[in-house]
Amino acid sequence: MNQKLEDILNLALETPQEIREQTETLNVGFDGESRTWELIVKYHGSLERLAGLGVKVEYLIAGYAILTVPEGLVDMVADVEEIEYVEKPKRYFYAVSAPADGSCLPRATLQEPFLTGRGVLIAVLDSGIAYERKDFRKENGDTRIRFLWDQTLMPGEAGAPPEGFSMGVEFDQERINRALRETGEGERYALVPSRDVNGHGTAVAGIAAGSAILEQAYKGVSPEAELLVVKLGAPNELGFPRTTEIMRGVTYALRKAILLGMPLVINLSFGNSYGAHDGSSLMERFLDNAAEIGRTVICVGSGNEGSSRGHVSGNVEQETAVELAVGAYETALNIQLWKHYSDRYRIRLRSPGGREQELPEVVEAGKYTLQMEQTRILVYMGEPTPYAVAQEIYLDMIPLAGPYINSGIWTILIEPVKVVTGQYYLYLPSSAIRNESTGFYRAAPQVTLTIPSTAAKVITVGAYDSTYDTYADFSGRGYVDRRRTIGVVTAGLTKPDLAAPGVGILAPDIYGGYTPFTGTSFAAPIVSGSAALLMEWGIVRGNDAFLYGEKVKAYLRSGARPVRGEAEYPNDRVGFGALCLADSLPV
């Protein structure tokens, strides 16, 4: 194994392509046509010499880059002195399951100080935007979108990518306005051929910054903020965005905000369950660095895994049996077990038919393969890395014969050998790609927030039901002011930071109407829009030139109000409470 590579990348490189393609995660980042890997690296110095190896380098921010590497050269590239650590991309999933007066917005927007978000840039990195809607236009009909980067379009006749990038097509405000002046849909989309076929991004943008349209009695939180939109994805690829595309989008937004001289709010309404959930991945560290560049705030939804049965944790004092129900027609399933490196366990796996196999000693790092009934199990025993103290045991279950793995009750037996803490954490993939009946028995709702909402410097947003003023049980839960049981020390860190309405949120759809949406995806833009209002009051109006970053988080926490049924604050469900913008203003 190469210790500069993360565990899942080591496993992917040691697994033949035809087997990787059967899994949900191992082949993400590999291009079978060009036989290249897209990789995320942390580096120092210069990477210019990689060009001589046929490696394409895209520089991001703060010592991060994306490399496109011929498959046979990954280990050689990792051995380059300037490369510190390497990860493969992961897929992120939208957190889908009208901003309410409960968020105290009218007291700050319909009376003094009459905040609208003017002068602030809100970046929506998502599935795109229905740019033709009135919700994203000024009173004169011009667009409020400063730039639209569609990563899924091929450069060429449609246009060129942004400076510093090689994928997608960038459309500026002038070109979007030209398109809006066209009366025919065909002519409009000939000029700006970007569509939101999903509708998620349009809804998110509308909640954060929809224009005040009197005839429809709808407006977003910051109706006069300007928008920067990134449609995430890659040409010729369907499905969910990858970490590399998100990191490109964040870098792009930061560069544009600095160029325009505007304070910036970045909204991220998606996440992934892969990782130690402790801030140690390159994506989490990247966002922490990004949040410290310029006058920036990053808001991330906590995800919808709170009640999805995708997580279980506990302490091993004697042999512990963790039962996992695998539903019918599951084509693949991976399981992560995270533990302290100082603990040693004997781990056995029992199939639905009662067959048992013991995993290799945890101290022996590397890849192993098991076969149980009609299921092949790829096992990777990880080690601590220069960026993380936690140890991962990764299992990927794929069909041995036929299209599905064995359904029924799988049991993971954990027996203590040497116990220092005795703690373990198990995670399944996001519920968005799992069979609904697949999940742990006796699942734990704690620490179910998705990555990257686990990054320390972002504002992590949970969801509550504003109709009943109660916590929404799907909302990913975090931790409060303590040392995390695995991974980095997070004493004093609370996640989520606060909650916003996330059930039945009215928002623009891609069909010309307004539809209620549910999920932390739609709670996050309420906070993003509110952050923009605070930054307008502070930076744009000259009341506080330093109202950005952690200071915005502190003000939003301070103004948060209680939620029914929550006795202590902060807590792992709603953090410091429910968003109350008016009480967050320091006036």
Active site residues: 126, 200, 521
Q: Please state at what angle helix 243-260 crosses helix 282-290, rounded to 10 degrees.
A: 10
Tell which residue, 394, 412, 230, 202, has the closest CA to residue 321: 412
Q: Is 182 left (phi over 0), alpha (psi -120 to 50) or beta?
A: beta
Q: What totals of helices (H) and strands (E) does the chain contain, helices first?
A: 12, 29
Residue in the structure block whose two tokens are 């990789």: 39
Instruction: Provide the pairing of β-strand 366-372 with 375-381.
Output: antiparallel
What is the pairing mode between strands 36-43 and 30-31?
antiparallel
Measure the CA–CA gap between 283 and 287, rounded to whole angstroms.
Answer: 6
Element (H, E) at 220: none
The CB density around residue 310, as the number of other CB atoms within 10 Å, is: 22
Full DSSP string of 488-542: S--TT--BS-EEEE-SSEEEE-TTSSEEEE-SHHHHHHHHHHHHHHHHIIIIISS
Among the listed residues 162, 136, 120, 507, the one whose alpha carbon sits nearest the alpha carbon of residue 299 = 120
Q: Are 448 and 311 in contact (CB under 8 A)?
A: yes
324 forms bridges with which residues in the sheet?
410, 440
What lies within 8 Å, CB to CB, of 302 at 6+ separation is: 95, 271, 449, 450, 453, 460, 461, 462, 463, 475, 476, 477, 478, 495, 496, 520
Contact 478, 449 (CB under 8 A): yes
Three-class SS state of 416: strand
Other C-beta atoms closer than 10 Å to the C-beta of 123 total 29
Contact 393, 382 (CB under 8 A): yes
The number of beta carbons lying within 10 Å of the beta carbon of residue 64 is 21
Are 418 and 317 in contact by the 8 Å Cβ rule? The answer is: no
Query: Within a 10 A sphere around the Cβ of 519, how many other Cβ atoms?
Result: 24
Please check whether residue 571 is in contact with residue 482, taking contact to mean a CB–CB distance below 8 angstroms: no
**SS3 assignment, position 478:** coil
H or E element in which residue 177 lies: helix 173-180
How many C-beta atoms surround the C-beta of residue 576 within 10 A? Answer: 23
Task: Provide the token pair at 128.
Answer: 């795109």
User: Counting beta carbons within 10 angstroms of the beta carbon of residue 93, is it exposed (0 to 12), middle (13 to 18) or buried (19 or more)?
Assistant: buried
